Amino acid sequence: MKLLENGKRLDGRALDEIRDVKIETGVLKRAAGSAYLEWGNNKVLAGVYYPREMHPKFMRDPTKAVLRCTYNMAPFSVDDRKRPGPDRRSQEISKILSEALSSVVLLEDYPDAGIDVSVEILQADAGTRCAGLTAAAVAIADAGIPMRDLVSSCAAGKIDGEIAVDLMKDEDNYGDSDVPLAILPRKKEVVLLQMDGKMTKEEFKKAYKLAFDGAMKVYEVQKAALLSSMDSVEGGE
Amino acid sequence: MMDVTDRELVFPGRILGEGIERSGNSFREGRNVFSSIDGMARVKGNAASVIPFRGGYTPKESDVIIGIVSQVLRGSWLIDIGSFSKAYMRGEEVTRDALNSDLSKYFKIGDLISAKISEVNELKSSQLMRPWKLEEGLIIDVNPKKIPRVVGKKRSMLNMIKDKTGCKIVVGQNGRVWLKGNNIEIAIKAIRKIEREAQSRGLTDRIEKFLSNELQSR
């Protein structure tokens, strides 16, 4: 399958162009904080509960809270029905998302407690771990849980021998390689970096740079979503 | 140097200033001070803090809270205060011989009490004192971060609502409000309005007008 034509991709994007990202906060009334994110054709819903008593008890930590993230794909999120329930892939993603988020939330404020974050993929179009992490960070901020920074995320990959940012489904399926990256935009620290497929060192460096710039663009969308949700809080009637 | 203006909206990780004093919902890294939450920055002289819009309740010493008795233990009660940590109340608060008396005589499971937090330990687990049983009436849940606005400066807002409606109100810092008596619906409406418009100016006057209108129209 030909993925590139005259330097343009299947959906007309340039190699360094990310898909449109839209974020809305406070969409769930029962959760402490929530965010709905649309990233190209990805649709993600993230919800957070306030810190609460941690169960099971043996997982408690008297020095800090334990943050648990659950990533789940809806059965209708992909072309072939996805068998519901946790599988190898979603367990892996749950784990890496928990670890990435644990590095920014001020967990020391809530000893012995547990913070549950759930990420539901309603529609998948490649890059769902990045989309899920981005939405989860906004949801936690929306809940008013203290954090050192937001987490922004973006992927890059190799298609038809060229390095491109933010792969979509066909590019991910028929491309050569995929590198998801998540950063703390303020300190420019990396909290998630994986690679699927093969790349040379030079290609990797280029992919890293593209994913990093993409994540910084996503950061701007996250900030705007958080600030605009507060505008409505402020005004009287 | 201050990087925010008073009442500016901020998000987690937003810089507030360099070499400034800090308080509430901010953290320091080197000389820089950053916001740790989504909220509104307040600047007072050389100090910055952030007012939260949302968030759970974390127990604090000397807060008055409204709790629900969730277990009667030997010589003490376990009270649900709507937080992630546990709260206990010693039987000695109501009787001299707590170990040998039946504590459910005083407070049984499901009873509502208002009490003061006497101590919070390093696990944020708290001790309660001076319980007061709340009988009948009803409880509403309010965003704990808006409670200061429901109470107002020197309790001005709360006293105004009480005077106007003639309703008995006990406000717990943990976000639970107990009401009993006349015009409960109007008092609840007013509290919900305060919750929605907490960050706007001239709120007390607006609520006063709102209450007058509501009371007249019935």
User: pLDDT per residue over A178-212, tens digit each?
Assistant: 999 999 999 999 999 999 999 999 999 999 999 99
Structure tokens at A117: 């974050």
Nearest Cα to A232, choosing from B199, B115, B114? B199
What is the C-alpha separation between B186 and B161, in angstroms, rounded? Answer: 9
Give residue B199's pLDDT: 79
Averaged pLDDT for residues A57-77: 96
Compute φ and ψ for A153, nearest 5 degrees: -145, 150
Q: Look up the ipTM and state it.
A: 0.90
CATH code: domain A10-229 is: 3.30.230.70
Task: Quote the minimal CA–CA distance from B146 to chain A in Å.
Answer: 12
Please indicate whether, in this complex, the C-beta atoms of A111 and B124 are within 8 angstroms of each other.
yes
The class level of CATH for B64-133 reads mainly beta
Question: A-B interface: how many C-beta pairs under 8 angstroms?
Answer: 103
What six digits make up the tokens of A7? 């330097």
Closest listed residue to residue A130, CA positions, set A87, A89, A167, A85: A167
The domain made up of B9-52 is a member of CATH 3.20.20.80: no
3-state SS, residue B118: strand
pLDDT of A237 > 50? The answer is: no
Question: Any CB–CB contact under 8 A between A32 and chain B?
Answer: yes
Using an 8 Å CB-CB cutoff, list chain A residues near B52: 144
pLDDT grade, residue B11 (50/70/90)? very high
Query: What does pTM read for this prediction?
Result: 0.93
Q: Is residue B193 within 8 angstroms of chain A, CB to CB?
A: yes
CB of A28 less than 8 A from some CB of B = no
Report the alpha-carbon distance of residue A160 to residue B73 in Å, rounded. Answer: 69
Kindly state the tokens that stand for A53.
């008593």
CA distance A166 to chain B (A): 25
For chain A, the domains span 10-229
CB distance from A174 to chain B under 8 Å? no
CB A114 within 8 Å of CB A57: no
Chain A neighbours among B 67-106 (CB < 8 Å)?
Answer: 84-86
Tell me, yes or no, if the two domains B64-133 and B138-216 fold the same way.
no
Tell me what the mean pLDDT of segment B173-182 comes to. Answer: 94
Residue A232 — very low, low, confident or very high, per pLDDT cuts 50/70/90? low
What is the distance between the alpha carbons of residues A216 and A153, in angstroms, rounded to a whole number?
8
Q: Residue A233: pLDDT band by 50, 70, 90 thresholds?
A: low
- Its CATH architecture, for the domain B138-216, is 2-Layer Sandwich (3.30)
pLDDT tens per residue across span B96-154? 998 998 999 999 999 999 999 999 999 999 999 999 999 999 999 999 999 999 999 99
